[in-house]
Chain A
Amino acid sequence: MRGNIEAVLAEAQARLMAGEAPAQVAAAYPEHAAELAALLGTAAQLQALGRSAARARSRQAAGIAYSRAFNAATVAELVRRERAESGLTPAEQARRSSISLESLSALEQEATPVAALDPAGIKRLAERVRAPFAALAKELKRLASLEALQGLGGAAPVFTRGPASAGAERQQLLDLVRQARRARPGGSDPPPAGP
């Protein structure tokens, strides 16, 4: 047994890693027992972090091994399967899922098996969807005048922006906003600028 606290701690830490309890290890070094008990308690907390990360890693690998062997569905396959079964177009599927077409397309690139999705995998998935969602939200903000749309009856407006339909839908929405303004008492389009 070595006397220096730093050297003693190095020895004690190895015993802690091997599975001995902090109090038990500390008791083996009477001249430093109190300090060791306190420090090894903190070391044990940190070791629990490492252990937990290692277990999560092997668990994820187990999910991947299963998915490979039994051809379990990936996120992308689930998206495609739902579309095939329901007969929806991508735009309709996006609308029904309350996500943009771009987000749906991002999900369709996701090759991670569903069974292997851990919290980190789900976060990565959310990151993929976030960018197109933010773009959609920005566009909605520009269209504005939701207040005016509240006065309208009829079919709900469609906010989906497909590459082919974006311009036409936007124009349609702007027309609806203008109509709503005209329909309000005293409402009208702002006069054209200039003299």
Chain B
Amino acid sequence: MSDHHDSDGWFDKPENVSKMLKVFYVVCVLLVIADFIVHRHIYHSWENVPAFYAIYGFVGCSILVFVAKWMRTFLMRGEDYYDE
């Protein structure tokens, strides 16, 4: 069953991927717009920042990846480091 669609998976076509990404971007924009329309409960004063969760998620994850990448410089060893 797997052989007849060897390298023509849906995600192999760049136009499909860019279509999907466009939908994704639109959803992101809608979520930020919703932040200004919907009255959300404020449990903490920091939440008063517009689109607080969106900003926090984006910045948090970027920092996570950059720090993790930097950690590689002193934590990374060969695959069989402990077997030598």
Chains A and B bind each other? no
- A: residues with CB less than 8 A from B are none
